[in-house]
Chain A
């Protein structure tokens, strides 16, 4: 059988213009329906895939149990492959800037109200369409954002972006609306243990709370964003099943959340776990209502974002200068840096309407106040790259 196959390959090879002798063959598999064979030529690399051949060749392959065979030049094959990998990436991606909220609430130093306001203004001027301004969680838990009311007041007239705020319950919602909020966000978990330890109630209880908020929000025509934490892993439970994430996502979607942000809270995800999770969620929530919120604790955020974009996700959360360390791994990083995300999206040809230079200025500003270097590699590289070429 081997030699017949090789003979068949030889005759196919000679039939292709420009082909010389076969240099290498790889037999991929045979079945009753199809066969794939790789053939390399000494002039062009050509790979043989599935298709249909005419009787002369077909008869040889039918003997071997093959009914279809086609030949596609390697450069054409690569272009298809490349296109398939990048082709499904959305043309426009909305970036949700969470630096002033998720970022600052996880920094150990508290930043003065004035500086927060200036930061928000700088972020808006860079073109970011949504900037999460602050949180109405009790200052007992989040002292860094105790000045929520003052911040909201100061940005009442800032135009050009939406300013959602975090609200843990109806009370927080009412305080937020009183302070002028026009958009809110609620915060559930896909992990029961994390829900209990983080917001002191079970997932079901939290969903009930948020249902109350959503009713009030609907009455006031205020959009709600739903966050889901621990969508890949939980510091207590370990692995979180995709089905659990889908369940919480569906509930948030049904209660009227305009967008669901899927958060890899401890940053343990890789495309291997992110993709199945997204597949499960996309079965119950339309992809245009989904956002991804990856933490860069293990350096995996950008590749997770890439995989999410390939799946069609078009909204990405990030934090200027990578503000916000990880509360679970001391000294480790948390949020992915907006500058790095914008750099990648720009390179992918995706529109964001964000001016990278201006985001870097905002990042520079806040890092100076926090007295620490930026966590954005792009910002660090662009700030210090020299024009001269030094020897490697």
Chain B
């Protein structure tokens, strides 16, 4: 997968100043040992660094200037074929109750020159953010399976159609977990049948084991997802088996999937905290992520199942996982139970993650804290990404209409603050 044909622009090159700093950073403790080099004498010049303690000082120096290189990710190229605009602000909304408050869409708050400036801003905190982020819409599956009201098949299908037409590249359609456990998605087969002809998006489905996998394939699924946990207790209580047993199950699934050229996505739940065990060590998450990756999952979605994470523990977790799984194979799946998902997503983007799971209108409450929210709302994520100048190919206006559609059917208010704000903003400025 050589990308020798795609050099970065020269503006991405580090300044000589930075190079000096990096030079100083190349101390002995961080360098591979010379003997192992097999190239005779020291192959990396630089200041001689005798003690390994000085390495930490060098790290600190680094914080002053940003680390100049961002990894060149490949996600963008896959989606170049999409021509949909990402900011549908000025589109004619036609009949519909959504008011045309394009006015407040954040892209209005950046002029053309700002867009350019933002990519070349001296701020190190924005520079590392990927240019394109793939949003994996989990509303029809993760969202609906956690709603107390079951939605009729026709509505589910309409929801999926609408989501696809918003430009979302991936829409998780349903789940082949036994209806005994997830009655809300018992119509999986019928849903798959009805969305067969949808072409513009990928429609993965959850499969808990070989049986579910076979049912999914028979129903026409072209992509599946499996579901492991970083917490032993949660694994046992949620899917009735240990982590190792679940991984063994999924190895069988991935084998079968490979034979049929069906991509498999791996979820890791409790990536930060577990309702039973509390804090989960990053190394555990890295272990499970690596196992899923090695068995053939093309993408690993790291889920903060109970929403307890903050950037303070998301960063060490991502550090550990990204050391063993390439960043472009990772996705983040944050829950907004404590309102922390957007800052967690921001820090993940800054770390180089470029795939984010979210749920239209914030569908799907938290099963552990009654009345508390669960999934982060896709509209809020898209709003933030638009503001950051990140391309998503998602039409925010259409997305909000879709969110309103499903919220009405569930008889509940939208869980998306962006949707609520854009729907009700008045043009008049009232006094503060």
Contact = CB atoms under 8 A, between A and B. Distances in A.
Given A34-B19, A52-B23, A328-B429, A83 B63 contact: yes
Contacts of B145: 392
A349 B44 contact: no
A220 interface: no
Given A75-B323, A337-B339, A391-B238, 10 more contacts: A34-B14, A50-B19, A233-B109, A239-B108, A239-B111, A272-B387, A329-B425, A340-B338, A340-B339, A347-B313
20 contacts: A26-B71, A52-B45, A54-B39, A54-B42, A81-B128, A82-B318, A84-B124, A85-B347, A86-B312, A87-B63, A193-B429, A240-B109, A276-B123, A279-B122, A298-B380, A340-B340, A346-B310, A384-B370, A389-B234, A389-B237
Interface stretch (A210-218, A252-260, A306-314): A306-314
B4 interface: yes
B420 A331 contact: yes
A33 B323 contact: no
Interface residues of A, number: 120
A389 B121 contact: no
A206 interface: no
Contact of A270 (B14, B16, B123, B388): B388
Given A238-B103, A347-B340, A141 B431 contact: yes
Interface SS of A by simple majority: mixed
A303 B346 contact: yes
B324 interface: yes
A82 B319 contact: yes
Interface of A: 2, 5-6, 14-17, 24-31, 33-34, 36, 38, 40, 44-45, 47, 49-54, 56-57, 68, 70-88, 105-106, 141, 193-194, 197-198, 229, 232-236, 238-240, 265-273, 275-276, 279, 296-300, 302-303, 305-307, 310-311, 326-333, 337, 340, 343-344, 346-349, 376-378, 380-382, 384-386, 389-392
Contacts of B40: 56
Contacts of B259: none
Nearest to B315: A82
Closest 3 A/B residue pairs (Cβ) = A347-B310, A270-B387, A299-B417
A323 to B, nearest CB: 14
Interface string B46-59: 10000000000001
A378 B372 CA distance: 9
Interface in B26-82: 26, 30, 32-33, 36-46, 59-60, 62-63, 66-69, 71-72, 74
A386 B388 contact: no
Contacts of B109: 232-233, 238-240, 268-269, 273
A344 B343 CA distance: 9
* Listed residue (B8, B336, B420) with the most chain A CB atoms within 10 angstroms of its CB: B420
B7 A30 contact: yes
A106 B396 CA distance: 29
Which one of A194, A234, A331 has the greatest number of beta carbons of chain B within 10 Å? A331
B257 interface: no
B212 interface: no
Given A327-B430, A392-B238, A80 B67 contact: yes
Contacts of B311: 85-86, 306, 344, 347-348
